[in-house]
Structure 1
Amino acid sequence: MRELAGRQEDERHALALEHAAAGIERAGHQEVIPGGDGQLAEELRYALGADVLLGATHTGALPDLAPGERLPLVAVCALAAAMPSCVLGDLPREVTLLADGLDAATTADRTATAGANSTYSG
């Protein structure tokens, strides 16, 4: 996701993608608070929301995403957002499924991004 952020001409779109990348990291680590309710903070839910696809509001354009990059981005954000409640609910099978899905979505995103980067640089 940070590679996608680095590819954006509009800094506002880059920032939205950077926030999503940080949100993914937080959802899998810092947001898993023993004794917590498994709900993401509002700002984190926002970072993992539609902005990852739509970019910053009021820019008049969408972020520069290649075909094949959008669906893995949505999957990564949705899976990351679901992770804290499964961890805190002590649902090991569900956590494993989410982690496997997160790995698969991340791999799909990296593959799409690598293809897009070769197109942009070639």
Structure 2
Amino acid sequence: MLKTFADTIQQVLGREIIPGGAGEIGEEIRYRLDACVILAQDRPELTSIEQLALVAVGAITTTAPSTVLNDIAADLPALCDAIDNALTLAGA
């Protein structure tokens, strides 16, 4: 489950963000980024902070493709910083 989640994040933050794109992700990708990572039957045991971090990272990643519609040079680094902060808090 976490591997699929991580692979999806990498996919979205990589080739899914295309300047001039529509700023949307497909339904299948959206499904893999939603809270199912903490609701799935085969989920790993996670602390509350780890669960919140995963939900935050999924939500931020879902938002990332819409940065192509705004100022990607300013917005994308801010989103990546927010992801880094969520993961740092989960690891603390």
What TM-score do you get using the length of structure 1 for normalisation?
0.65
State the partner residue of 2:85. 104
- Output one character per residue of 1:21-76: Cα deviation in whole Å (capped at 9) or x when no partner: 111111111111233201011111000012111014xx7xx642123211111111
Structure 1: 5+ residue runs without aligned partners? 1-15, 113-122
- The answer to whether residue 51 in structure 2 is matched with residue 70 in structure 1 is yes
Question: How far apart are residue 108 of structure 1 and its match?
Answer: 2.0
Aligned runs of 1:1-122 on 2, under 5 Å?
Answer: 16-56=1-41, 63-86=44-67, 88-91=68-71, 92-109=73-90, 111=91
In structure 2, C-alpha distance between the alignment counterparts of 1:46 and 1:54, rounded to whole Å: 12
Q: CA deviation at 1:89?
A: 1.6
Q: Is the 8 A contact 1:48 1:78 kept in 2?
A: yes
Alignment coverage as a number of residue pairs: 91
Percentage of pairs with the same residue: 37
- CA distance in 1 between counterparts of 2:7 and 2:44 reads 18
1:34 & 1:99 partners in 2: Cα distance? 17
Aligned equivalents of 1:96, 1:33: Cα separation in 2: 15
TM-score (norm 2): 0.83
Structure 1 stretch displaced more, 29-38 or 46-55? 29-38
Structure 1 ranges of 4+ moved more than 3 A? none
Q: 1:17 offset after TM fit, Å?
A: 2.0
